[in-house]
Amino acid sequence: MRTEQAIRVLEVKRLTMMGIFIALAVVGSYLKIPSPAGTIAFDSAPAFLAALLIGPSAGAIVAFVGHLATSLIAGFPLTVLMHGIIGLIMAGIAILMGWCNTKWGIKPALLLTLLLNGIGSPALFIYVPGFGWPFFTAMVIPLLVGTALNLFVVGLLYAPLKRRG
């Protein structure tokens, strides 16, 4: 009986923390970083922190919701479908970040995330009709800068938050 109660308490704590990180991602979606699409913002930092502190799946959910919030505020400039796909890509990156952190530590996880989100995600659109190389060249620098700024926030907050449990 006590084991079941302890599990429920942990589940409630995890869900509560996810809710807080989702709320922070929505707030961060209002803090824009200039870009051609207008959808680069500080919504990623809470998602990446959630992936590191709660777990990869929690980070994925926060990343998806955070990107959709940012896109909604910007008016879905690349269409709802494309932003849904980008949200799934962000979710995948959060999962990989959390996994990399458990396997090799925070520094490789930060570097992997910078490369995947800043270069890899716009590169996925090179062969998509209507996007191609012009989209990649227009987005790669703003995405690298935006990702670096989000990861800077993560780097500042990760150790103190991890120590607090």
Q: Locate the DSSP E strands across 41-97.
A: none
| Mean of pLDDT values over 100-126 | 97
What is the pLDDT, as a whole number, of residue 165? Answer: 74
Count of domains for the chain: 1
Higher-pLDDT residue of 148 and 12 is 148
* CA 107 to mean position of chain CA atoms: 17
Report how far residue 119's alpha carbon sits from residue 136's, in angstroms, rounded to the nearest whole number.
9
Domain holding 76, by residue range, is 2-164
Q: Is the pLDDT of residue 147 over 70?
A: yes
- CATH number, domain containing residue 86: 1.10.1760.20
Q: Is the pLDDT of residue 1 over 70?
A: no
Bridge partners (DSSP) listed for residue 32 = 41
User: At residue 162, what is the residue type?
Assistant: K
**pTM for this predicted structure:** 0.92
| Mean pLDDT for all residues in the chain | 94
- What whole-number percentage of the chain has pLDDT above 90? 87
Q: Is the pLDDT of residue 112 over 70?
A: yes
Q: Is the pLDDT of residue 35 over 90?
A: no
Our CA angle for 158, 159, 160, nearest 5°, is: 95
CB 150 within 8 A of CB 116: no
